[in-house]
Structures are given as C-alpha cells and as structure tokens.
Structure 1
Amino acid sequence: MAAGIAFASSTAFAENPMVGGAAMLEDKNIVENAVNSKDHTTLVAAVTAAGLVETLASEGPFTVFAPVNSAFEALPEGTVETLLKPENKDMLVKVLTAHVVAGKISGADLMKMTMDNGGTYAFTTVSGDSLTAQVKNDQLYIIDENMGAAKVTIADVNQSNGVIHVVNAVLVPK
C-alpha cells in the first residue's frame, strides 16, 4: 500500500488487483476486463448504450476512472435510467468520456504530479472537461468540474490499452 491506495507494483511479475471479484488480466483491454467485474455492470451497460465499446477496446492508451455500481446508485433517482435512453445518448457519451483521459497515467505518477504541484493537479478528459487530482489524508481523489469528489479505491489496474483506476463516485461534467 502506498499513500493509502492499493498501487500495483511495476515489476514484471506483479499481478493486477482483483476488481469486482474478477481477475483483471493485463493482456486484455479495458472492455474485456470491465465486463468481468461485478462492481461495474452499470458502467458496462452505459458504455454499451453510448456506443463506446469499440473506442474503449481500441489501442489507446487510455486512463479510465471507473465508477462502481454504488456510485451510479448514489446519483439522484432516475438519472441512470434517463441517461440510458436512446434520445440521451449524447449526454451519456459526455458523462462517460469525462471519466477517460488520453494516455496511460499510473496512480503513482498521478500522486507524484499532484504532490509536486502543491497538492492538486489539473488535467483534461477526452470529452474536453477538466478533472483535478487532489491528495487528502494520503488518499487520491479525482474532482470534477462541479467539485464532486471521487475517491480512487483501487489504482493501477493495468490493461493492454491503458489503465483503470476504480473510483467510488460518478464524475459529472458541467
């Protein structure tokens, strides 16, 4: 454990952390691994409804902040159902791509950039929205444009096309 977050070792023999009761295999892509996580069924359904499966299965690399099912359940009642309607696909794509950053950023690198920058580090998602990493009490949080905070609960789940960091809240773009 480093800074209170489960960071995977960078050695060639390190295993990815388990996510949602499933092994996350480094030779599988983001979508192939996510579908096996019991904690990400809502996210997988949303990615499918948004038509983003092919994108997130592509070469990348991507850094994905992946909200767990309970994060979606914490949204106001009816939000997920509304976003999943075909007529709201553009809004759903915007929300989901606000969780994705181009490139592969490890948890350790994100922590270092944050600490080197006085405790916060701003970056841009593929949707064009801003996120800010912040360290509080040795925990890494990702802050959205509405000041909503998602705690990184599992960092450095390496994929063949990037990395997933599991978060406990949905990041909402403006």
Structure 2
Amino acid sequence: MEMQQKEGLVQQNLVGTLRSNHTFGTFAHAIDKAGLTASLNGSDQYTLFAPTDDAFSALPAGTLDRLLEPSNKDELTALVNYHLVTGRKTTADVGKWKSARTVQGQGAPVTVADGQLSIGGAHVVRPDIMARNGVIHGIDKVNIPESKPH
C-alpha cells in the first residue's frame, strides 16, 4: 500500500497517528480492546473525535477499568464508535453541522460558540490532526452514548 507523503513525512493511519501523538494513548488502547484497530487502519476514511488522556482521567473512578474488561467489550465498542464519523472532515466541515451521525448510530450535537467547536458537549482542543485515512480532532471530554433500553 502506498503511503502519502506530506512535507517529507510519511503519514500514518489513524491509530498510528493517535499512538505517536502521546496525548491519545488511552483512546488508542480502548480502540485495541474494542477490536477496532484493523478497521481504523484500513483504507476507509474516518473522522475521529479522540478524547485526550486527560479526558479519560476525568471519568468517574473505576469507569475506564470497567469499560476495558472483556465482558464490557460491546459497551466499549459503542463508546469508541460514538467518537467516530465516516468520511474525512475538518473542523471547518464539522462546524457547519447541527449534529454528527456517528458510526455507533446516535447523533452527537455539534455547536460553535465564540469560535469554539464542540461535539456532544466536548470541546475540540486539538483540531485537524491529519492521518492517511482520516482526520483526528482531540476533544477534552469522553462522550458517553445513551444506553439503549434492552
């Protein structure tokens, strides 16, 4: 597979870009545990709203450990997919939306106030990190999808 050149640097896929960024290690680990690494390393284009490590640290105590348990893989997969939109979208694109249709299925509200883009209540703090197969926008909060009634 041919790699795109960008200013002499080889652009990595989404997961590789997350890992090399040192701000998104927890989210990269969650993607691995959810079994989504292969699909996010493929050729399909995605926009990833990636919670920073600080965002995961702000979750209630024990939440992350519980999500990472193998018995909670479905819930973790839903959470990761709630941060994912198909297609390659910059903040300029996303800022025109009222809601983002997530891979998980639920819409996440999009707002722009005082030049600050937010999705699902999380502020975009690291916009437009380009990867070979998409764009990453670092966000300051982990968005939790509504749990569906059984």
Query: Equivalent of 2:109, from 124, 132, 154?
Result: 132
Task: Give the CA deviation at 1:14.
Answer: 7.5
1:66-106 alpha-carbon deviations (Å, 9 max, x no partner):
00011011111100000000000000000000000011111
Q: Is the aligned partner of 1:48 residue 2:20?
A: no
Give the unaligned 5+ runs of structure 2.
Answer: none
CA contact (8 A) 1:29 1:57 kept: yes
Task: Give the CA deviation at 1:13.
Answer: 7.2
1:90-123 alpha-carbon deviations (Å, 9 max, x no partner):
0000000000001111111222x14xxxxxx112
Map 1:98-117; keep pairs closer than 5 Å: 98-111=82-95, 113-114=96-97
Q: Which residue of 1 aligns with 2:18?
A: 34
Q: Which residue of 1 aligns with 2:139?
A: 167
Q: Is the aligned partner of 1:64 residue 2:41?
A: no
Give the unaligned 5+ runs of structure 1.
Answer: 1-11, 16-24, 115-120, 144-148
Q: Structure 1 residues 13, 42: closer, same or farther in 2, change over 3 A?
A: closer
Aligned residues: 142
Q: Normalising by structure 2, what TM-score?
A: 0.88
* Amino acid in structure 1 at the alignment position of 2:36: L
CA distance in 1, matches of 2:65, 2:6: 41
CA distance in 2, matches of 1:44, 1:63: 14
Q: Normalising by structure 1, what TM-score?
A: 0.77
CA distance in 2, matches of 1:95, 1:137: 28
CA distance in 2, matches of 1:110, 1:47: 22
Which runs of at least 4 in structure 1 moved beyond 2 Å after TM superposition?
12-15
* Amino acid in structure 1 at the alignment position of 2:47: T
Task: Give the CA deviation at 1:131.
Answer: 0.8
